[in-house]
Amino acid sequence: MDLFNANDNTNLPFVLPDKPGYSFKFDEALNGFFITIPNGELFYSENFFDKKISDRSIEYFLENDSNDWKTANWRELDKEQLSQVKFKNIDWNHDKLNIYGKEVFLPRYTAWYGDNDKPYTYSGLTLQPNAWNKGLLFIKDKVDKVAKVQFNSVLMNWYRDGEDHMGWHKDDERELGKNPIIGSVNFGATRRFKLRRVDNHKEKLELPLKNGSFLLMRGQIQHFWQHGVPKELKIKELRFNLTFRIIN
């Protein structure tokens, strides 16, 4: 039987276009869907991590010596105030980009972890990795087993609420290799993850990335598709996205 034999779309928690090049198959052992799209492959598991692990991960990312992680107004912290918070496990930063000669803060907090010889450059930023810690290695081990690769880096994005977002882009930097494999883990608020064809913006796909979900992108996706996380102002809860990568 073809691994990507098409099934009834109602089995998916999102709509897959009913057209050539799209198909999926549920893998019971992995509790997720293997999905083909034109020029790419996805694996999507809505409940990859159970609620206990997901909730504990959020706490782990925010543990600090000065603020109640549950009640703090993280959006009100500027870069200087954020740098004064002594996070126990994650070294969060509020980076700036130079856009048309003007410095603009990223609409999210970020952190970069990985092997110590694997810096990463994107959008004009060069990130030097922090050393892996126990919590991140636990998550990475679970992701590695499904992806059947050894990721050596992770970019962490902390979306404070629905105002924080990610614009359309491709993860196609040279150091990611010819056909990058990206493993995306999500904790916290559900956010819309959108894909669109580079050569036809009307051809789109949208997935809900929920607490504990996992999305794997592989094949030629980063050459033929863009992805992004739009603003959703009605969402007041925070969300963490961890994108595991292989830096060459």
Mean pLDDT of 135-149: 98
The pLDDT assigned to 100 comes to 64
pLDDT by residue (tens digit) across 27-81?
A: 999 999 999 999 999 999 999 999 999 999 999 999 999 999 999 889 887 666 7
pTM of the predicted protein model: 0.91
The kind and range of the H/E element at 216 are strand 214-218
Q: Pick the closest to residue 177 from 139, 220, 208, 142 (CA basis).
A: 220
- Provide the residue count of the chain: 248
Q: Which amino acid is at 132?
A: W
List the end-to-end C-alpha distance of the chain, in Å, as a whole number: 35
CA dihedral of 95, 99, 103, 104, whole degrees rounded to 10: -60
Q: Pick the closest to residue 35 from 65, 57, 5, 10 (CA basis).
A: 5
For 9-245, the fitting CATH number among 2.50.20.10, 2.60.120.590, 1.10.490.10, 3.40.47.10 is 2.60.120.590
Q: Pick the closest to residue 87 from 115, 108, 66 (CA basis).
A: 66
> CB neighbours (10 Å) of residue 86?
10
How far, rounded to the nearest angstrom, does the alpha carbon of residue 22 sit from its chain's CA centroid? 22
Q: Name residue 157's beta-bridge partners.
A: 110, 241
> CB neighbours (10 Å) of residue 247?
19
The pLDDT assigned to 6 comes to 45
- What are the b/e assignments for 97-114, b being 16+ CB within 10 Å? eeeeeeeeebbbbbbbbb
Would the pLDDT of 148 be above 50? Answer: yes
The pLDDT assigned to 117 comes to 79
pLDDT by residue (tens digit) across 162-179?
A: 999 999 999 988 889 999
Write down the domain spans for the chain: 9-245
Coil, helix or strand at residue 150: coil
Coil, helix or strand at residue 237: coil
**Average pLDDT for the chain:** 90
